[in-house]
Structure 1
Amino acid sequence: MDWLTRMNHALEYIEENLTEEIDKQHIAKLACCSEFHFYRLFSFIAGISLGEYIRHRRLTKAAFEVQNSSIKILDLALKYGYESPEAFTRAFQKLHGVTPTLARNEGVALKAYPKITFHISIKGDEAMDYRIESKEGFTVYGIEEFFSTENGENLKEVPRFWEKVYDDGRYDSLIKSTNTASSKGLSLINSICDYRKTENNLFPYMLFAFMTDKSNTSGYKTVDVPASTWAIFKSKDHSSEETSIVIQDLIKRVYTEWLPTANYDKVDGYELEMYYEDLSTGKHHCETWIRVAQK
C-alpha cells in the first residue's frame, strides 16, 4: 500500500466518523505512522491542524443539516460532539458568522469546508539537497520540553523555547557542559524530537549536545539514538534570525515533496535538526535528519 493510499484511508476514517468520537491513534495506524508524524504531516500539507480540520468538517456538515432538516439544535450539538447547545452555537457562529437558528433562514450565507484528499503535486522548480548515510548509535543529552501538535502550537512554541533557553542562561550552561571549544561548522547545540512515546498530542523536544568523554551530563536528560540509516536534507544559506522559518520550510518540503515519491519509507522517531555557521561569511545553514528504510 503506497503513501497516498494510506493517507487517504485515514481521511476516509475521519469522514465516516464525524458524528462519533474519532480515535486519533487509529488514524495514525491507518496511515502506518506515529501520531506525531501524522499530525505534523497533515498540518504541513493541509495548512491547518488535524483538530481544526475535524472541527471545520463537523460544522460544515452541521450547517447542511440546519438548512435542510428540522433537527433540534440540542440534538445537532450532541450529534457532532458538543457538550451543550451553547458550546455548539459559539463554535458554529465563530465559523459561519451566524447562529444555527439564524442559519435556517433562506438566503443566509454559510461557509463550506470540503473534504481533503491527498495527492502528489509535481513541482520540480527547486532542487532538494540530500544524502543517505548509515550511522552507528550515539548518545545525546540536553534540555527537554514537551509540545503539542494541536492547532499547530509547536510551530510557535518551539522557537519561543529556544529564546527562553537563550535568555535564562541554560543555553550557555549546556555549551559549557561539553567542555569543548566552539569551532567553525556544526553548532555544539542542536535539537532532537520524537525520541520517546508520549500521549495527548504531545511530543518531546530537546536542545542537545553530543555526549563525549568530556561531557558533564549532570542534571540533563540523556537519549540513546539507535544505529540508523538517515536521509539528511540541507537548507539554503540564511541569517541566524531566519533559522526557525528556514528549518520549518525544509521539514515541510521533506514531508510533502520528497517522502511521497522517494524509494524510502520513514522510520518513526528520532528526528534531528543540525545547525551550521560559516564564520568567514556569517551565513548559516541547517539540516533535518529523518530515519529511513529502503522500500
Structure 2
Amino acid sequence: MIAILNRVIELVELDLSDDVDLASVAVNVGTTEYHVRRMFSSLAGMPLSEYVRRRRMTVAAADLLGDGVLLEIAVRHGYGSTEAFSRAFRTVHGVSPADVRRDGGPLRSQPQLRFRLTVEGNTPLDTRITDRPAFQLAGHAARVPLIHEGVNPHIQAHIAALPVSEHERLKELSSIEPAGLLQVSADVDPDYTEGSELTYLHGVAVGEDASVPDDLDVIAVPAGTWAVFRTQGPYPAALQSTWAATASDWFPSNPWRLRPGPSIVAVLDRAEDFSTATCELWLPVERE
C-alpha cells in the first residue's frame, strides 16, 4: 500500500492540471479506489483532492511571481477563468493572486508528500478476523458531520435525546455478534473528509431475518469478512488512536483492504462517567 500511495503522488506531479484517474490506478495494482482513498486520507491527514489542489496552487504561486498573463496561468493549472482560479488560490493561500504579484506573499506551500512505513513493534494491535453472515443493524439513525478527534457533539446530542428506556429496549433486541449497544458509522465519504456528513446509528445487531420494530431505522449488512480491533483506555482517545493505527500500521502490513460498508464500535465495558472504555472496532475487509 505504501508503494501504491507513492505511485499516486508521482502521477499527481506528472500533471497537476488534471485529476488522477484513481480507479484505473487501483485496478492496475490489484486494489480498489475505495481502499486507496481511505488509506490516503488517513495517512496524509487530507483527502487526495485537497492535496492535489494544494500542490496545484503551490506551483501556481511560483508562476505568479513571473511575468505570465493571469488567464494563461489559470488555464495551465486547469481552470477555465481567472475568477475560478482566484477563488481556489485564495482558499489555499489566504490571499489573492494580485496580492502575491504585488507583495510576493504570504504563501502556504504544500511540499510533495512521500509515504514511508515505520515499523516500531511496540504497540501491537489486538486483532481478529471473522466471517459473518448477512445481518441487520437496527436503531436510531441521524446524519452528522465527521469529526476526526475528540467527542462528536452531534452524536452526543443524538444519543442524549433517547430516553433510558429506549437504550434498554435496544439491548433486549441484540441477538448476534457484535453484541450490545453499537456505534455505527455508515455512508462515510470515501475520502474521509472532516466535516462531511455520515449516517450515525445508535443500535444493535440482529439476524438477517429478524423482525425489527417499525419505529427503528435499519441498515442491511451483507455477508463478509471483518477485522475486529480490541482497544482499551481513555475514551474516545484510545479508540481514535487505534482507528488511526489501522491505516498507518495494520493495513500496510497485512494482506487485507477495506471494503465498502459500515464501521461498528461495540463498547464492551466502560467507566461510569465514560472516561475510559474497552471497545471493539469492526471494519469490513477483504483480501488484497
Aligned partner of residue 252 in structure 2, secondary structure: coil
Count of residue pairs brought into register by the alignment:
277
Match of 1:290 in 2: 283
Match of 2:130 in 1: 133
| Counterpart AA for 2:248 | T
2:114 to 111, 114, 117: 117
Give the whole-Å Cα distance in 2 for the aligned partners of 1:206 and 1:26: 33
Residue 227 (structure 2) pairs with residue 208 (structure 1): no
Give the whole-Å Cα distance in 2 for the aligned partners of 1:194 and 1:106: 45
Kept after mapping to 1: 8 A contact 2:144/2:200: yes
Match of 2:152 in 1: 159
Aligned partner of residue 286 in structure 1, secondary structure: strand
Give the whole-Å Cα distance in 1 for the aligned partners of 2:33 and 2:165: 33
- Comparing 83-92 with 252-261, which one deviates more in the overlay? 83-92
- Comparing 73-82 with 100-109, which one deviates more in the overlay? 100-109
Residue 59 of structure 1, CA deviation: 0.4
Give the whole-Å Cα distance in 2 for the aligned partners of 1:4 and 1:87: 34
Residue 214 of structure 1, CA deviation: 8.2
The 3 A distance-change label for structure 1 pair 18 and 210 is: same
Aligned partner of residue 254 in structure 1, secondary structure: helix
Residue 38 (structure 2) pairs with residue 33 (structure 1): no
Residue 247 (structure 2) pairs with residue 255 (structure 1): yes
Residue 178 of structure 1, CA deviation: 5.0
Structure 2 portions without partners, runs of 5+: none
| Counterpart AA for 1:159 | N
Give the whole-Å Cα distance in 1 for the aligned partners of 2:36 and 2:96: 33
Give the whole-Å Cα distance in 2 for the aligned partners of 1:196 and 1:57: 22
Cα deviation, 1:141-171, whole Å, max 9, x if unaligned, reads 23344567xxxx4537992341231233278
Cα deviation, 1:234-262, whole Å, max 9, x if unaligned, reads 11222xxx32x332221110111111012
Give the whole-Å Cα distance in 2 for the aligned partners of 1:137 and 1:174: 24
Aligned identity (percent) is 24
| Counterpart AA for 1:207 | H
Match of 1:64 in 2: 62
Runs of 4 or more above 6 Å deviation? 279-282
Give the whole-Å Cα distance in 1 for the aligned partners of 2:189 and 2:109: 38
Residue 222 (structure 2) pairs with residue 226 (structure 1): yes
Aligned partner of residue 54 in structure 2, secondary structure: helix
Give the whole-Å Cα distance in 2 for the aligned partners of 1:13 and 1:172: 55
Structure 1 portions without partners, runs of 5+: none
Give the whole-Å Cα distance in 1 for the aligned partners of 2:85 and 2:220: 46
Match of 1:189 in 2: 182
Aligned partner of residue 257 in structure 1, secondary structure: helix
Aligned partner of residue 51 in structure 1, secondary structure: helix
Give the whole-Å Cα distance in 2 for the aligned partners of 1:188 and 1:97: 44
TM-score, structure 2 length as denominator? 0.75
Match of 1:9 in 2: 7
Give the whole-Å Cα distance in 1 for the aligned partners of 2:189 and 2:244: 22
Give the whole-Å Cα distance in 2 for the aligned partners of 1:278 and 1:7: 37
Residue 26 of structure 1, CA deviation: 5.1
- Comparing 102-111 with 265-274, which one deviates more in the overlay? 102-111
| Counterpart AA for 1:287 | E
Match of 1:274 in 2: 266
Residue 65 of structure 1, CA deviation: 1.6
Match of 2:51 in 1: 53
| Counterpart AA for 1:65 | D
RMSD over aligned CA atoms reads 3.9
The 3 A distance-change label for structure 1 pair 171 and 64 is: farther
Kept after mapping to 2: 8 A contact 1:186/1:277: no
Give the whole-Å Cα distance in 2 for the aligned partners of 1:131 and 1:76: 52
TM-score, structure 1 length as denominator? 0.74
Give the whole-Å Cα distance in 2 for the aligned partners of 1:170 and 1:215: 22
